[in-house]
Amino acid sequence: MTDYQHILESIRRDVQPLFGKGKVASYIPALKNTDPKKFGIALETLAGQEYSIGDANERFSIQSISKVFTLTMAFAMVGEELWKRVGLEPSGSAFNSLVQLEYEKGKPRNPFINAGALVVTDVLIQHLPDPKADILNFVRKISGISDIEYDLDIARSERETGFTNTALVNFLKSHGNIVSPIEQVLDVYFHQCAIMMSCRELAKAFLYLANHGVIPATGERILTDSQAKRLNAVMMTCGFYDEAGEFAFRVGMPGKSGVGGGIVSVIPALLAIAVWSPELNERGNSVAGVMALELFTTRTGRSIF
Amino acid sequence: MTDYQHILESIRRDVQPLFGKGKVASYIPALKNTDPKKFGIALETLAGQEYSIGDANERFSIQSISKVFTLTMAFAMVGEELWKRVGLEPSGSAFNSLVQLEYEKGKPRNPFINAGALVVTDVLIQHLPDPKADILNFVRKISGISDIEYDLDIARSERETGFTNTALVNFLKSHGNIVSPIEQVLDVYFHQCAIMMSCRELAKAFLYLANHGVIPATGERILTDSQAKRLNAVMMTCGFYDEAGEFAFRVGMPGKSGVGGGIVSVIPALLAIAVWSPELNERGNSVAGVMALELFTTRTGRSIF
Amino acid sequence: MTDYQHILESIRRDVQPLFGKGKVASYIPALKNTDPKKFGIALETLAGQEYSIGDANERFSIQSISKVFTLTMAFAMVGEELWKRVGLEPSGSAFNSLVQLEYEKGKPRNPFINAGALVVTDVLIQHLPDPKADILNFVRKISGISDIEYDLDIARSERETGFTNTALVNFLKSHGNIVSPIEQVLDVYFHQCAIMMSCRELAKAFLYLANHGVIPATGERILTDSQAKRLNAVMMTCGFYDEAGEFAFRVGMPGKSGVGGGIVSVIPALLAIAVWSPELNERGNSVAGVMALELFTTRTGRSIF
Amino acid sequence: MTDYQHILESIRRDVQPLFGKGKVASYIPALKNTDPKKFGIALETLAGQEYSIGDANERFSIQSISKVFTLTMAFAMVGEELWKRVGLEPSGSAFNSLVQLEYEKGKPRNPFINAGALVVTDVLIQHLPDPKADILNFVRKISGISDIEYDLDIARSERETGFTNTALVNFLKSHGNIVSPIEQVLDVYFHQCAIMMSCRELAKAFLYLANHGVIPATGERILTDSQAKRLNAVMMTCGFYDEAGEFAFRVGMPGKSGVGGGIVSVIPALLAIAVWSPELNERGNSVAGVMALELFTTRTGRSIF
């Protein structure tokens, strides 16, 4: 049997030389002030085992990891219709690229670039009575943690400096791919990015994706088998901005990263694992986080490939 | 136990309505004259079972599927050094795009776009005494089929009309990313594309990728565990031109397609499957082939996700 | 001596077959409702002669022609410093392209694409006590027409539907190339586009560009000799969106067009000519307007080449 | 009356500080070995006056300046039909860009980027019995200099290292925009680039463009009035790679540069001027050459604007 705890400890030790090699996200004060030395990993297996190490219980800003939650909600609600408004292909360029958007006439290339996530948020606003509350409740349900909250300071800071996202949503609107008022889309979007969760909570929250769409703790089905498979595929090909290929190559698990320094990955039918380390590489992914997951698949011999 | 033969038969039945919806590749006579109604599937499990249906024993031009073989050879020979000359990210655009190449100063985005495959071929020429013979011998070895051959007419036709590939290799040379003479690179490249194999032979040949780098029939190691994992990851994110995301989404297996109408995919630790149907969609992938593999993962419940 | 009046009449006759070949701008109601059959030309020589034909005295929305006025004001105020924030090269793509802007890190390629004009407007806001009033007064001064006004309905309509320009200004701000508040930049910009002028008034207003920077009627210097030469050069290479090359080729005069259907051109040391015809080609330039100017240079034998 | 000789002398003095600020083209030995301190200007007026200074009588490799000659020949032969195969718009990017070409499906954006010039050369090959001899004879005719020759060493060197141009012509052929054999197009093209002329000879050769299409010395008409106007317009908007806008802005004359360090410009109805200084800026234009022409228009007060 795999000695996960031992492996997590060896990983913590071996990523130490990477501290100082990346940069904490600095575009808003709340992220800028994060301690760059924070490091945590949490692992949850479908068999019910839990392992963790370091700062695994400390909450941080999940940022783009939230795109998995909103995509799940939208996909469950509107099904394959969703792909008429957002594509499924890797972007081949940076996560906030206007270029790709313009060439493709306002249809974002995939739901994990910012433009795509804004369209997904717009879909939620169309279908939900109280989008901000409903998103929060969804995340509480899948994780089983009832006090998960938005960090309202972060949401406000994002709004005040969010010129690129404001540009994107206006451009999408000019192409008819945003239905709701721009201010509302941005408000919901910046809140979802400001959800605070720990590695433990994230690993628990992602278990439905390892479990073919069903929350293991409650048996509630969130996505069909096929939809869960498909969502994992989207994470595999598009989950790491323009580093998706390298992440698949080095790590070999579907997952999603955020500029808060978090990454969550799953191995279907087996486990979910979340890591947090705030220093980012040039492409916006956690330096030590990516390495930790690479070491994890190498040392356990587990990956999807 | 999964009744694979029964499932293959149901697939053949259900893809019938797709015939006539695509177009046979027509840029050289040898491909143009292929019977569009050809259809075959072959499945090989690591447990040694073999299943097939339709035209599974008829050889066709494997075209870009050969890029997996040459990449394997080059990766085994030069290791991670390879990625200094060719990238690992999905291209986000068509398979022969000069645009991507120019923006990235002559470093092809991945080894499965034509530019990347030309660089891989150049690596082989640098390291092999008789590249054309050596490639053929490699394919014979991994498949266990000793009479696999080049179709010399196809190789010659490709050369006569290969203006885009000639443009690519000259552009790569202008950036210093081709070492050998241009004519030699093109000669080897057009030969590798002209290898003739059947679905049966292709499924056998890919088993080492399902078997962590070892040929099951002989026990010979071709790639390390880690390299085999990595090669599967590259197929997952880059194996289907600019349709990689959709293939991952619909099918959920790493694989590689060719404009001859072939597709080969693997499920690590389980099986390899090859399908052939010459009619292509607009992105150069077999229409019925992609659908057949989607039905396969849906009906067997097997995929990597 | 050139019989300008006779030539103008022949032009009016010969452009008749073009009516119906273009489309009136329809993105805001005020433009959409313009009578597509409107057609006027006004010609003013430095020698003081005036010629006109058709609807030359009817005011219309000058739209992007206003960019010449604001550029003149900004260039006169900050001189060559201006080109640190906006480039001088033809755009090679559509007038509202986000692509070019992204590749060039927020420095618009020239002052006549929308992004560039927004930066110029931002410069005016930084330097003028009451930008909207000051712009209007400048246009009144150079034309000698004291009752030129904004059409406030058009300005408001533009604001309500101006998602692309809102996207541009947010994107510029994200790159630090907008100093003033976004709402103020858009407010001034949409007002300048909504200036109402007739062909007669436009031809008079442009005479300083034919006269080496000096208003002929008053002798007031607006630009230095060198600046006037340079502004004409910018109109020549960038004045017609992505049709600048063809306009230079066919017409051979520096000028500027607007989606209201107006075009104004000058021949240095000789004359200014304005034409109005609301139907636009696919690139946003007046169909009959471009032809009228081509016929003018052909029949008079006057051009800068 | 303008004292041209005095002005040329002042220019020579004032460009001295620029020596050492650029780099001599180094991609072939023959260019690389050029003395970077060479500097010459020659001026020819339609009134028959000749002025020169420095190395104005020393021949150098005219390189892309030859594109004006071949374009003139093709335009005279096939007329406006030419623009079906090559466009008229500024490229907005570097002179050998494959990107633009791909987006525009093999129709080069203008005749002065390399791709466009290759198409023009292909047109000549289609229409001329002995293209290399005919091009040389044309240049001898318009300049009145009977011993102008190709430098065969340069032509051969260009061929041996011309991977980018080989890429371009293959790409054009793949889009059906090259009719003749690739080797022949490249052979003629590399010869035309290798024509050797002095500033004096170039200024003489360009006089027909200042003279509405007629060679002043012989009265022979080369282009119609309209065609000469149009060719000047193309030089104005496209003659300086991606620096056309800045050249128009600073200098205000239509012209053409080459990587040999030459630039030739005309003021219609007045003069032709050629300058040579081998050190180039990053965009491939002569550093001291551009400055010399800027000083010329500033100090004479003559430009087209």
Q: Would you say residue A125 has pLDDT above 50?
A: yes
Residue B305 is assigned to a structural domain of this protein: no
Q: Would you say residue A167 has pLDDT above 50?
A: yes
Work out the number of other CB atoms within 10 angstroms of the CB of residue A281: 16
Q: Would you say residue D29 has pLDDT above 50?
A: yes
Q: How many residue contacts between C and D have a Cβ separation below 8 Å? A: 111
Q: Which residue of B has its CA nearest to A298?
A: B226
Mind telling me how many Å the CA of B227 is from chain D's nearest CA? 34
Report pLDDT digits (tens) over D194-206: 999 999 999 999 9
Report pLDDT digits (tens) over B17-55: 999 999 999 988 889 999 999 999 999 999 999 999 999
Q: Is there a contact between A102 and C97 if contact means CB atoms under 8 Å apart?
A: yes
Q: Would you say residue C281 has pLDDT above 60?
A: yes
Test mutation, C171, C172, C175, C178, chain A, max A CBs within 10 A: C171
Q: Report the range of poorest mean pLDDT among A94-108, C125-139, C222-236.
A: A94-108
Mind telling me how many Å the CA of C273 is from chain A's nearest CA? 34
Q: What is the pLDDT of residue D100?
A: 65
Name the residue facing D170 among B99, B102, B166 (closest C-beta). B166
Q: Which residue of C has its CA nearest to A106?
A: C164
Q: How many residue contacts between B and D have a Cβ separation below 8 Å? A: 49
Q: What is the pLDDT of residue A100?
A: 66
Domain total for chain D?
Answer: 1
Q: Is there a contact between D166 and B166 if contact means CB atoms under 8 Å apart?
A: yes
Band (pLDDT 50/70/90 cuts) for residue D102 is: low
Report pLDDT digits (tens) over C157-198: 999 999 999 999 999 999 999 999 999 999 999 999 999 999
Residue A146 is assigned to a structural domain of this protein: yes
% of chain A exceeding 70 in pLDDT:
96
Within 8 A of C97 by CB-CB distance, chain A residues are: 102
Q: Which residue of A has its CA nearest to B213?
A: A305
Q: Is there a contact between B98 and D101 if contact means CB atoms under 8 Å apart?
A: yes
Q: Which helix (H) or strand (E) holds A275?
A: strand A271-276
Name the residue facing C163 among A102, A103, A173 (closest C-beta). A173
Band (pLDDT 50/70/90 cuts) for residue D95 is: very low
Angle at B94 between CA B93 and CA B97, to 5 degrees: 90
Q: Which residues of B touch D (CB under 8 A)?
A: 97-99, 101-103, 163-164, 166-168, 170-171, 173-174, 182
**Mean pLDDT of the residues in chain B:** 94
Residue A305 is assigned to a structural domain of this protein: no
Report pLDDT digits (tens) over A36-75: 999 999 999 999 999 999 999 999 999 999 999 999 999 9
Q: Is there a contact between B237 and A237 if contact means CB atoms under 8 Å apart?
A: yes
Residue A266 has what DSSP assignment?
A: E
Within 8 A of A97 by CB-CB distance, chain C residues are: 102
Q: Is there a contact between B102 and D101 if contact means CB atoms under 8 Å apart?
A: no
Q: What is the pLDDT of residue A90?
A: 86
Name the residue facing A88 among B233, B245, B252 (closest C-beta). B245
Report pLDDT digits (tens) over A239-269: 998 889 999 999 999 999 999 999 999 999 9
Which residue in the list C4, C51, C150, C189 is annotated as catalytic? C189
Q: Which residue of B has its CA nearest to D169?
A: B167
Band (pLDDT 50/70/90 cuts) for residue D105 is: confident
Contact between residue C65 and residue C257 where contact means Cβ atoms under 8 Å apart: yes
Test mutation, A68, A71, A89, A226, chain B, max B CBs within 10 A: A89
Within 8 A of B245 by CB-CB distance, chain A residues are: 87-90, 110, 233-234, 237-238
Who's near C3: CB < 8 A, 6+ residues apart? none
Ramachandran assignment for B131, one of left (phi > 0), alpha (psi -120 to 50 degrees), beta (any other): alpha
Q: What is the pLDDT of residue A95?
A: 43
Q: What is the pLDDT of residue A71?
A: 98
Q: Which helix (H) or strand (E) holds A276?
A: strand A271-276
Name the residue facing A93 among B92, B248, B297 (closest C-beta). B92
Residue A114 is assigned to a structural domain of this protein: yes
Q: Which residue of B has its CA nearest to D178?
A: B163
The stretch D107-129 carries a mean pLDDT of 95
The stretch C205-230 carries a mean pLDDT of 97
% of chain B exceeding 90 in pLDDT:
90
- Residue B191 to residue B136: CA distance in whole angstroms: 10
- Residue C148 to residue C194: CA distance in whole angstroms: 11
The stretch C6-32 carries a mean pLDDT of 95
Q: Is there a contact between C230 and D250 if contact means CB atoms under 8 Å apart?
A: yes
CATH code, domain with D263: 3.40.710.10
Q: Is there a contact between A168 and C168 if contact means CB atoms under 8 Å apart?
A: no
Q: What residues are paired with B42 via a beta bridge?
A: B52, B274
Chains linked to C by 3 or more Cβ pairs within 8 Å? A, D
The stretch B65-78 carries a mean pLDDT of 98
**Per-residue DSSP letters for B163-219?**
HHHHHHHHHHHHTT---S-HHHHHHHHHHHHTEEE-HHHHHHHTHHHHTTTB-TTT-
Tokens of B199: 């679905």
Q: Would you say residue B86 has pLDDT above 80?
A: yes
Specify the residue for token string 């604007």: D305
Report pLDDT digits (tens) over A133-165: 999 999 999 999 999 999 999 999 999 999 999
Q: Which residue of C has its CA nearest to D267?
A: C305
Q: What is the pLDDT of residue A208?
A: 98
Mind telling me how many Å the CA of D182 is from chain B's nearest CA? 10
For residue A61, give the nearest of A255, A278, A282, A283 by alpha carbon: A278
Report pLDDT digits (tens) over B162-206: 999 999 999 999 999 999 999 999 999 999 999 999 999 999 999
Domain that holds residue D10: 4-300
For residue D100, give the nearest of D239, D290, D275, D242 by alpha carbon: D242
Band (pLDDT 50/70/90 cuts) for residue D2 is: confident
Contact between residue A286 and residue A243 where contact means Cβ atoms under 8 Å apart: no
For residue B26, give the nearest of B261, B290, B288 by alpha carbon: B261
Alpha helices, DSSP H only, in chain B?
4-15, 29-32, 66-78, 98-103, 114-127, 131-143, 152-161, 163-174, 182-193, 199-205, 207-210, 225-238, 244-250, 287-300
Q: Which residues of A are catalytic?
A: 64, 67, 189, 241, 259
Q: How many residue contacts between A and B have a Cβ separation below 8 Å? A: 111
Q: Using DSSP, state whether B86 is helix, strand or coil.
A: coil
Residue D99 is assigned to a structural domain of this protein: yes
Residue D305 is assigned to a structural domain of this protein: no
Angle at B172 between CA B167 and CA B177, to 5 degrees: 160
Report pLDDT digits (tens) over C64-92: 999 999 999 999 999 999 999 999 988 76
Which residue in the list B204, B241, B277, B287 is annotated as catalytic? B241
Q: What residues are paired with D155 via a beta bridge?
A: none
Q: Which residue of D has its CA nearest to C305?
A: D229
C189 is catalytic: yes
Q: Is there a contact between B91 and A92 if contact means CB atoms under 8 Å apart?
A: yes
Q: Report the range of poorest mean pLDDT among A47-51, A184-188, D160-164.
A: D160-164
Q: What is the pLDDT of residue B242?
A: 82
Within 8 A of B225 by CB-CB distance, chain A residues are: 301
Give the per-residue SS3 of chain C.
CCCHHHHHHHHHHHHHHHCCCCEECCCCHHHHCCCCCCCEEEEEECCCCEEEEECCCCCEECHHHHHHHHHHHHHHHHHHHHHHCCCCCCCCCCCCCHHHHHHCCCCCCCCCCHHHHHHHHHHHHHHCCCHHHHHHHHHHHHHCCCCCEECHHHHHHHHHHCHHHHHHHHHHHHCCCCCCCHHHHHHHHHHHHCEEECHHHHHHHCHHHHCCCECCCCCCECCCHHHHHHHHHHHHHHCCHHHHHHHHHHCCCCEEECCCCEEEEEECCCEEEEEECCEECCCCCEHHHHHHHHHHHHHHCCCCC
Q: Would you say residue B94 has pLDDT above 90?
A: no
The stretch B271-281 carries a mean pLDDT of 98
Q: Which residue of D has its CA nearest to B96?
A: D102
Q: Is there a contact between C229 and D303 if contact means CB atoms under 8 Å apart?
A: yes
Q: Report the range of poorest mean pLDDT among A89-93, C200-204, C271-275.
A: A89-93
Angle at D92 between CA D88 and CA D97, to 5 degrees: 90
Within 8 A of D174 by CB-CB distance, chain B residues are: 163-164, 167
Band (pLDDT 50/70/90 cuts) for residue C2 is: confident
Q: What is the pLDDT of residue C95?
A: 43
Q: Is there a contact between C167 and A170 if contact means CB atoms under 8 Å apart?
A: yes
Specify the residue for token string 């909600």: A73
Name the residue facing A238 among B234, B245, B250 (closest C-beta). B245
Report pLDDT digits (tens) over C225-269: 999 999 999 999 999 988 899 999 999 999 999 999 999 999 999
Specify the residue for token string 């550093």: D287
The stretch D132-140 carries a mean pLDDT of 98
Mind telling me how many Å the CA of C105 is from chain A's nearest CA? 12
Q: Would you say residue C150 has pLDDT above 90?
A: yes
C67 is catalytic: yes
Q: Using DSSP, state whether D293 is helix, strand or coil.
A: helix
- Residue B48 to residue C11: CA distance in whole angstroms: 84
Contact between residue B268 and residue B210 where contact means Cβ atoms under 8 Å apart: yes
Q: What is the pLDDT of residue B29?
A: 86
Whole-prediction pTM? 0.92
Chains linked to A by 3 or more Cβ pairs within 8 Å? B, C
Contact between residue B72 and residue B223 where contact means Cβ atoms under 8 Å apart: yes
Name the residue facing D90 among C90, C250, C298 (closest C-beta). C90
* ipTM of the shown complex: 0.93
**Mean pLDDT of the residues in chain A:** 94
Query: C227 vs D92, which has greater pLDDT?
Result: C227
Report pLDDT digits (tens) over B134-165: 999 999 999 999 999 999 999 999 999 999 99
B67 is catalytic: yes
- Residue B44 to residue B46: CA distance in whole angstroms: 7
Q: Is there a contact between D249 and C228 if contact means CB atoms under 8 Å apart?
A: no
Which residue in the list C52, C61, C64, C277 is annotated as catalytic? C64
Q: What residues are paired with B221 via a beta bridge?
A: B214
Q: What is the pLDDT of residue C103?
A: 63
Beta strand pairing call for C279-280 and D279-280 = unpaired
